[in-house]
Amino acid sequence: MAGVDARQLGERAAVLARAHARALIAAALTITTIALLALALLSPARAKPESATSGLAAAAKIGHLAPDVTLMGQDGKPVSVSSLRGKVVILNFWYSACDGCRTELPA
């Protein structure tokens, strides 16, 4: 490095050291944020106190049966919840004013 004196080299080294420190701090913050988000997403939900829930809360507890209702199946035929007992059931409710629901509807 012809024409570069020790003072200039020292300034360049200081600039690089500060940039390196900023990069390490940014990486540490990113890793911490991802770890906290993962912890929050993977942690089981806390149950609400009984007084803070509606009367339907009892049906959502383990060992309690879902209310026996009859819904329209994809084939247009009625399906009662009691006929599905012992099987995994996924209910997907849509709302006509919901953009995401309208996007999903054709599928």
pLDDT tens-digit readout, 52-65: 555 555 556 677 77
* pLDDT tens-digit map of 21-80: 999 999 999 999 999 988 888 877 666 555 555 555 555 667 777 778 888 887 889 988
Phi, psi of 71, deg, nearest 5: -120, 165
Provide the 3-class DSSP secondary structure of residue 79.
strand
Q: What b/e readout covers 59-84, taking b as 16+ CB neighbours within 10 angstroms?
A: eeeeeeeeeeeeeeeeeeeeeeeeee
Q: What is the pLDDT of residue 84?
A: 86
Tokens of 59: 């049906």
Q: What is the pLDDT of residue 54?
A: 53
H helix runs in the chain, sequence order: 6-42, 99-104
Q: What is the pLDDT of residue 86?
A: 83
Q: CA of 19: how far to CAs of 8, 12, 14, in Å?
A: 17, 11, 9
Q: What is the pLDDT of residue 21?
A: 93
**Does the pTM exceed 0.85?**
no
Q: What is the pLDDT of residue 9?
A: 85
**How many CA atoms lie less than 13 Å away from 76 in the CB half-sphere?**
0
pLDDT tier for residue 105 given thresholds of 50, 70 and 90 = confident
pLDDT tier for residue 10 given thresholds of 50, 70 and 90 = confident
Other beta carbons less than 10 A from residue 57's beta carbon? 14
